[in-house]
Amino acid sequence: MRRVVITGGASGLGRAMAERFIAEGDRVAICDADPSAVAGFAQAYPDHIAMTADVTDEAQMATVFDAVEAAFSGVDVVCANAGIGGPAGRIEDLSLADWTRCVEVNLSGTFLTCRWAARQMRAAGQGLIVLTSSTAGQFGYPLRSPYATAKWGIVGLTKTLAMELGPAGVRVNAICPGAVEGDRMDRVVAMEAAASGRSEDAVRALYVKGVSLRSWVTADDVADTVLWLASPQAKRISGQIVAIDGHTETLVP
Ligand code: NAD
């Protein structure tokens, strides 16, 4: 039985990961900024921990981490997953506030989560951190500069933490999901259509055109990969940037 913490775990990919770990018999704690989603998770999984917290708020996250330490006495897997898409538009039209919020949630929130995980895991001499980057962290992504910048930052953080924590027995990997079917990509497609002047169908078609397998990804595909990373079969996998995307050739086909 593993002790698992997932940020942004009340819906989307984080919830898919949480449900897979729970199905495996693990103990899961999630936090999420959306109180109604947290309430839904808590109702569905009363034997696990669900807390409302914003990953960029140090005090709120300290409360989450204290609660997890009290309940779990350590942690085996931490998924630093919470993220937002940020704005879509040419850089000359973006506001500093939109830029800052996107980088804060995707990158600073991940920093706070990883800092706590590192303290726990270095002391224990074991553990796995999985950071959620994106295919936007592997390619240039026109009209999404804040998001791409933050997700490339995740890659740098992953490589660095794998080196800092590897000698202590802690593995650190990033996942790069492609376009995942679901609410979030519906919102992203609508935003990108508005910013580019294309129809939503045209934007959707472009996501598939740039992918070798010509398909979108499902949340289960992503959860499967995280479960594999957390398995004994992946015990020598660290510092890796694992794309779950059907092989993205370009984000601008
Ligand atoms: P989602 O919007 O469905 O879920 C994200 C969850 O994170 C939500 O429950 C939301 O309330 C929570 N959240 C947002 N901001 C938060 C904050 N400040 N503090 C705490 N929780 C917060 O999105 P998703 O698709 O599940 O995305 C999860 C991660 O995967 C993100 O990091 C995202 O960038 C990344 N990603 C998603 C896709 C995709 O196609 N959906 C592709 C690549 C990467």
Task: Report the pLDDT value the prediction gives residue 231, as an integer from 0 to 100.
Answer: 98
Q: Which domain holds residue 156?
A: 3-178+218-244
Task: Report the pLDDT value the prediction gives residue 163, as an integer from 0 to 100.
Answer: 98
User: Closest residue (by CA) to atom 17 of ligand 1?
Assistant: 54
Task: Report the pLDDT value the prediction gives residue 37, as an integer from 0 to 100.
Answer: 98
Does residue 187 lie within any of the structural domains? no
Does residue 27 lie within any of the structural domains? yes
Structural domains counted in the chain: 1
Predicted TM-score (pTM) of this structure: 0.97
Does residue 199 lie within any of the structural domains? no
Spatial distance between the Cα atoms of 226 and 21, rounded to a whole number of angstroms? 9
Q: Give the confidence band of 99 by pLDDT, cuts at 50, 70, 90.
A: very high
Segment 155-211, tens digit of pLDDT: 999 999 999 999 999 999 999 999 999 888 898 899 889 988 999 999 999 889 999
User: Closest residue (by CA) to atom 12 of ligand 1?
Assistant: 8
Residue 243: count other Cβ atoms within 10 Å of its Cβ. Answer: 20
Does residue 149 lie within any of the structural domains? yes
For ligand 1, the distance from its centroid to the CA atom of residue 10, given in whole angstroms, is 10
Spatial distance between the Cα atoms of 24 and 22, rounded to a whole number of angstroms? 5
For ligand 1, the distance from its centroid to the CA atom of residue 72, given in whole angstroms, is 25
| Beta strand ranges found along 27-104 (DSSP E) | 27-32, 49-52, 77-80
Torsion sign over Cα 157, 152, 33, 15: negative
CATH code of the domain in which 54 resides: 3.40.50.720
Segment 15-37, tens digit of pLDDT: 999 999 999 999 999 999 999 99
Does residue 161 lie within any of the structural domains? yes
Does residue 204 lie within any of the structural domains? no
The binding-site residues of ligand 1, defined as CB within 6 angstroms of any ligand atom, are 7-8, 10-14, 32-34, 37, 54-56, 81-84, 105, 109, 132, 134, 177, 179-180, 183-185
Does residue 108 lie within any of the structural domains? yes
Does residue 141 have an active-site annotation? no
Does residue 186 lie within any of the structural domains? no
Torsion sign over Cα 192, 198, 200, 205: negative
Task: Report the pLDDT value the prediction gives residue 188, as an integer from 0 to 100.
Answer: 83
